[in-house]
Structure 1
Amino acid sequence: MSSYVSHTTVDCADAYALSRWWQAVLDYREDPDDPNEPGHEECMISSADGRHRLLFIEVPEPKQVKNRIHLDLRPADGTRDAELARLVGHGAAVVADRRNADGTGWVVLADPEGNEFCILRSEAEVADRQP
């Protein structure tokens, strides 16, 4: 017997706005039979293949400390630095830059409500740096 992850839940102040922000960042979709709308206290989005889902739930308390769990994003196309520029242009804030001179490392970002996530190098960048 085992379990599987049904979805990842993100507590937030505005479920609709934050689900729309992440939908654009990840190119996720909402269920056409259960669309997310302004004022909804719970909003679900999923990857194109439906294998990963994010649920945004409104809670009364604000975020106060570092996340104990977070998403690590890897660019599907392009480079980490190009994706970093895109995400910052989309409204993400840089929290910590952990990139190294040799190209390894990551950047810690925060979404519009302060939830941290990381951007890693793309698989192509990792492959190019292997001996």
Structure 2
Amino acid sequence: MTGPTGIRSGRYWNDPEVTAYISHTTVDCANAFALSRWWQTVLDYTEDPDDPNEPGHEECLISSRDGHHRVLFIEVPDTKQVKNRIHFDLRPADGTRDSELARLISLGATEISDLRKPDGTGWVVLGDPEGNEFCILRSEAEMAG
């Protein structure tokens, strides 16, 4: 739940054992606007209508429709050099891992490594338009069946 200041409140807000929470995930990139638009399509996220992302913005923020997760894209001068140390694991909300894989590739993702197994388990490692790795997992329905 988000309070009036936009800061998360709720179950752990007053717990003295909890000292921090993740405000948003930041992605360094070359083109914040283009990459935020791409991820906005992939995740079905939105932007703040009072502070819309525009071409040329060096920082672009998108949020899940329920407001619980935010991703901030920040332009940096250096390019990606090595494998990400942190990445997104995506699970299809509808459909299958393979149908979502096809959708992501049609949007411009590139396949980096196919780690699917003959028994249907596993995942596929993809790269976004700037080469940042992320994985596509099986859907909840596929895991249950």
The TM-score, its normalising length taken from structure 2, stands at 0.88
Question: Structure 2: which 5+ residue stretches go unaligned?
Answer: 1-15
Residue in 1 that maps onto 2:135: 118
1:109 counterpart (102, 111, 126): 126
Structure 1 unaligned regions, length at least 5: none
1:37 aligned residue (48, 54, 74): 54
Count residues with an aligned counterpart. Answer: 128
- In 2, Cα distance between equivalents of 1:33 and 1:52: 18
Identity %: 77
Q: C-alpha distance in 2, partners of 1:3/1:34?
A: 26
Partner of 1:77: 94
The answer for the alignment partner of 1:4 in structure 2 is 21
After TM superposition, the score normalised by the length of structure 1 is 0.97
**CA deviation map 1:72-108 (0-9, x unaligned):** 0000000000000000000000000000000000000
Aligned 1:82-93 pairs, distance under 5 A: 82-93=99-110
* Cα distance in 2 between the residues matched to 1:58 and 1:41: 5
**Aligned Cα root-mean-square deviation (Å):** 0.4
Q: Tell me the residue number matched to 2:30.
A: 13
Amino acid at match of 1:105: G
Deviating above 4 A after TM superposition, structure 1's stretches of 4 or more consecutive aligned residues are none
